[in-house]
Amino acid sequence: MPDDVPSAIRVSAEVRTALDAGRPVLALESTILTHGLPSPRNLEVGLSSEALVREAGVTPATIGVVDGTPVVGLSPAEIERLCAASGDSGGDRTVVKASLRDLPIARAKHLDAGTTVAATAWLAHRAGIRVMSTGGLGGVHRGASETFDESADLGVLATTPITLVSAGVKSILDIGATLERLETLNIPVVGYRTSRYPAFYVADSGFALDYRIESPADAAALALARDELGLPQAVLVANPVDAEQQLDPAFHDRVLAEALAAASAQGVTGHDTTPFLLDYVQRATDGASLEVNLEVYRGNVALGAEIARAVAG
């Protein structure tokens, strides 16, 4: 572990021991648990993802905020605590969604929080973790030329040298604009065994990628090249869902168009847009989108673990 880990960050003994021994560690975010999945699936996913990582011989480090303290390597009880307080599951505690800007507020107010890709990547890097998996990355929202709504994930990834496995960004975002912003921010994006940028629920967003890799060893070589150049950007590995497992693309396009029309008709704007659209898609697909969501995430966790092993050498 680096010797300049900020004093407010708690790194679990298990994660610290693994890092100090040079063993592979994979960071996992927690907003997917607190704000991305319904209860009780969120807890199942949180615990089974860690189990999947362990089976691959890698130490999982789920990251989140407990009572104001950012924790790298949440215990099962802490994961349960964050999952139980999420969404509308009742009780008098709430859990907030913390991007990097929210960490000081969560600390000062002793809040519980799920951490976004931005906050998770920053905390993981500060603790010395080199690989992370997520479901879908934040990106540029549709209409961003008016609203300026672009996820803070992008800015943090421009200055955080980690390798991040995702299945691209969800098609509710402006995917073309997101890829343009990634280019502007000097963030390399490579397809894992594909030359097409994936769109989370579907394997092909319609946008091409300039580069592809074929193996976890390729990803490790890329991270090493970045480090040898002294560059600060994350390396993004875009891992598509299997074509047989994806939402039928024509069905996906139809439901998305309906969802966007409903949001516009009902005057849904700003931060309410994403939850509205995702909920619409989930209901309109009769839960099929949730099953794809879980499949996509499992795939990213499994690949992240393999890359963590390759990076650890």
Q: How far is the CB of 268 from ligand PSU (least distance, A)?
A: 15
- CB nearer to ligand PSU: pick between 18 and 106: 106
Residue 248 assigned as binding residue: no
Give the span between the Cα atoms of 267 and 207, in whole angstroms. Answer: 29
The residues facing 95 across adjacent strands are 112
Residues in Cβ contact with 264 at an 8 Å cutoff, skipping those fewer than 6 apart: none
CB under 6 A: which stretch of 51-59, 135-143, 176-184, 226-234 binds ligand PSU? Answer: 135-143
In the chain, DSSP finds a helix count (H) and a strand count (E) of 13, 11
Residue 97 assigned as binding residue: yes
> Which one, of 201, 194, 165, lies nearest residue 58 by Cα?
165
Please identify which residue in 19, 26, 28, 29 interacts with ligand PSU, judged by CB under 6 A. 29
153 binds, among Mn ion, ligand PSU, none (CB under 5 to 8 A by kind): ligand PSU
**Cβ atoms 115, 134 nearer than 8 A:** no
62: part of which helix (H) or strand (E)?
strand 59-66
Is 149 a residue that touches Mn ion (CB under 5 A)? yes
Which one of 29, 50, 78, 306 is the catalytic residue?
A: 29
Which one of 50, 78, 150, 170 is the catalytic residue?
A: 170
Phi, psi of 278 (to 5 degrees): -65, -40
Please identify which residue in 15, 28, 32, 66 interacts with ligand PSU, judged by CB under 6 A. 32
The contact pattern for ligand PSU, residues 152-191, with x = CB under 6 A and - = no contact, is xx----------------x---------------------
Please indicate whether residue 306 is annotated as part of the active site: no
